[in-house]
Amino acid sequence: MINIIYSEFVKLKKSYILIVALFSGCFISGTIFITDMLRQRNELLTLTERVSFFEGSIVDIDRMSALFVYSIIFSLIAAYIFSREYTDKTANTLYAYPVGRMKIFFGKLITIYALIVLVYLIQILTTYLGLYIEWGVLPSAKFISSDIKVNICSILLQFLLMPIPILIANITRNIIVPIVYGLLGDVMVGLLLGAGANIYSQFCPLTLPILPFYHYHKGYPIDIVIVSGSAVITFSLFMFLCTYHYSKVDID
Amino acid sequence: MLNIIYCELLKLKKSYIIPVAVIGGMFMSILFGLASLVFKENMQTFEQYSSNLEIPNILVLYTILFSLIAGFVFSREFTDRTSSVIYACSISRIKIFIGKLITIDMLISLVYLAKVISIYFSYYILNHTLPESTFTIIYLKYNIYSLIAQFLIIPIPILVTNMSKNLVLPVIYGIVGTIVTMIASGKMFRINDYVPLVAPYKFIMKTYIPNLIDLNHSVISGILCFIISMTICIYQYSKDDIV
């Protein structure tokens, strides 16, 4: 099992995926940093005002990255890891290994999860670093620990959504359709959560990774039954379809 | 030349790109039509309906969709290992490049066509009326201008694709372009008028805000962007090695 995961990481070395993960982690924080620096409102602010600007920027960065970037990037990563076997014509080699297909599937899935954790880690690091350079203060330890907790919640909920792009990538054997899924899902989530996280938007499972930010930072109420129900149903249904399709599909 | 375009269109037949273009054009009107049906908000004018629909379309969806189309049409030669076949044809590379560019422009026009038809169709289903003819003429006119502005900024993703020979980086360019467009469509900085990526958005908004006067910047920056990036593109494409 460890060999399979190691070989997946070695395959990634030649591609652009690691650069993409690095870039998508620091993109939104860099954008917010640059626009804030260009606005030049740093002079003559008291300490408490700086801390409140700092916290507001953290909430903005978390929310905007989860809304605009992560849906597309994570479906791109998932689709690349699964569809590269078909586009590079290496599926014959991979399935000739004396390892069960389920093991290969879970090796690839763990690789995707590791990349997701990497993206979130880079985002948290660059956010705090950039905002510390800009404002010169740090928020209270309570805020930082709650922010990290919310990010961990969001990571776990991102894990639950990953079987959907994997299934699409395995059925179409192509990288285009999963990217379009990520794009359309992104637009839909943006429209649903544009006015705030009300009760209708919690029915859509695609909004799950962004709901913790709304709940903890902005104080929107969450219906635990709907949210946990949609999470469990989405993950179990798509995981079942994924494993079934992956173990039954023909090699070509 | 016609043969090249025909051959490019034939190559697209096996892929998912034509359904993707049609769905990308119609997705927003389907979503808004369903939302209006669910929330019983069908007492709105056509201007409100279509402007609600166009802004997320052009700010979020189209930059990534068009760079995906451009990236697919150029990078499939490298990922499917057919580049050694196509460059062995007795046709100059610039002709192949222009043929591919015209194919991409046709796909973009297909997206715009699907968008316009689906907006009118969904509004007619919801409200049983159509807007008056004068507004329709203005609407179509500025949609065509916006389409031409999209043609002007499409060489940038083509250049990114040809340099990276991959579909991953054009998608990343699309995400960056989306964020740049969203920042530059506001009034935060003075440089915003000169960003060529905002030109399609400015032309669409001219329909709804007729007093918008700074279209000159968009036209000039769009044409400059086309000339510069097209020169770099053709230079890179004709000097590039076959792998």
Residue A228 has a pLDDT of 87
Assess whether pLDDT exceeds 80 at residue B7: yes
Residue B206 has a pLDDT of 86
Residue B79 has a pLDDT of 83
Q: How far is B66 from chain A (nearest CA, A)?
A: 11
**How far, in Å, are A14, A185, B228 from residue B201 at the CA level?**
37, 22, 21
Q: What average pLDDT score do residues B100-114 get?
A: 93
A248 touches chain B (CB under 8 A): no
Tell how far CA A204 is from the center of its chain: 17
pLDDT tens sequence across B20-72: 999 989 998 888 888 788 777 656 788 888 888 888 888 888 999 999 999 99
pLDDT tens sequence across B81-103: 888 888 887 888 888 899 999 99
List Cβ neighbours of B111 (8 Å cut-off, separation of 6 or more).
Answer: B21, B22, B24, B25, B62, B65, B66
% of chain A with per-residue pLDDT over 70: 96
Assess whether pLDDT exceeds 90 at residue A167: yes
- Taking contacts as CB-CB distances below 8 angstroms, the residues of chain A near B72 are 176
B103 touches B5 (CB < 8 A): yes
Q: How far is B131 from chain A (nearest CA, A)?
A: 25
State which residue of chain A sits closest to B68, comparing Cα positions.
Answer: A176
CA angle B153, B158, B159 (to 5 degrees): 100
* Residue predicted with more confidence, A38 or A62: A62
Residue B173 has a pLDDT of 92
Q: What average pLDDT score do residues A192-210 get?
A: 79
Interface subset of A 34-53, CB within 8 angstroms of B: 35, 38-39
- Nearest-angstrom CA–CA distance, A37 and A134: 7
Residue B59 has a pLDDT of 87
Taking CB atoms and an 8 Å limit, are A28 and B179 in contact across chains?
yes
- Nearest-angstrom CA–CA distance, B68 and B174: 8
Which structural domain, as residue segments, surrounds residue A129? 2-248
Burial A164-174 (b: 16+ CB within 10 A, else e): bbbbbbbebeb
List Cβ neighbours of B109 (8 Å cut-off, separation of 6 or more).
Answer: B147
Q: Where are the domains of chain B?
A: 2-239
Residue A119 has a pLDDT of 93
Backbone φ and ψ for A15, nearest 5 degrees, come out as: -95, 180
Q: Which of B20, B168, B189 sits opposite A20 (nearest CB)?
A: B168
Residue A41 has a pLDDT of 65
- Nearest-angstrom CA–CA distance, A123 and A62: 8
- Taking contacts as CB-CB distances below 8 angstroms, the residues of chain A near B175 are 24, 27, 68-69, 72-73
- Taking contacts as CB-CB distances below 8 angstroms, the residues of chain A near B17 are 176
B233 touches B162 (CB < 8 A): yes
- Nearest-angstrom CA–CA distance, A156 and B220: 48
Comparing A233-237, B144-148, B162-166, B223-227, which segment has the lowest mean pLDDT? Answer: B162-166
Q: Count how many Cα atoms sit within 13 Å of the Cα of residue A241 in the half-sphere of its side chain.
A: 15
- Nearest-angstrom CA–CA distance, B63 and B148: 14
State which residue of chain A sits closest to B52, comparing Cα positions.
Answer: A191
The DSSP result for chain B, as a single string, is -HHHHHHHHHHHHTSSHHHHHHHHHHHHHHHHHHHHHHHT-----HHHHHHHHHHHIIIIIHHHHHHHHHHHHHHHHHHTT-HHHHTTSSS-HHHHHHHHHHHHHHHHHHHHHHHHHHHHHHHHHHHS----HHHHHHHHHHHHHHHHHHHHHTHHHHHHHHHHTSSHHHHHHHHHHHHHHHHHTSSSSGGGGG-GGGHHHHHHHHHH-TT--THHHHHHHHHHHHHHHHHHHHHHHHHPPP-
- Taking contacts as CB-CB distances below 8 angstroms, the residues of chain A near B188 are 35, 39
End-to-end alpha-carbon separation of chain A, Å?
Answer: 24
A177 touches chain B (CB under 8 A): yes
> What is the total count of domains within chain A?
1
The mean predicted confidence, pLDDT, of chain B is 87
Q: Tell me the pLDDT band of A195, cut-offs 50, 70 and 90.
A: low
Residue B148 has a pLDDT of 93
Backbone φ and ψ for B210, nearest 5 degrees, come out as: -65, -20
Residue B88 has a pLDDT of 81
Q: How far is B60 from chain A (nearest CA, A)?
A: 7
* Residue predicted with more confidence, B155 or B242: B155
- Nearest-angstrom CA–CA distance, B8 and A170: 26
Backbone φ and ψ for A70, nearest 5 degrees, come out as: -70, -35
Q: How far is A248 from chain B (nearest CA, A)?
A: 23
- Nearest-angstrom CA–CA distance, A100 and A225: 37
Comparing A133-137, A239-243, B115-119, B201-205, which segment has the lowest mean pLDDT? Answer: A133-137
- Nearest-angstrom CA–CA distance, B122 and B29: 7
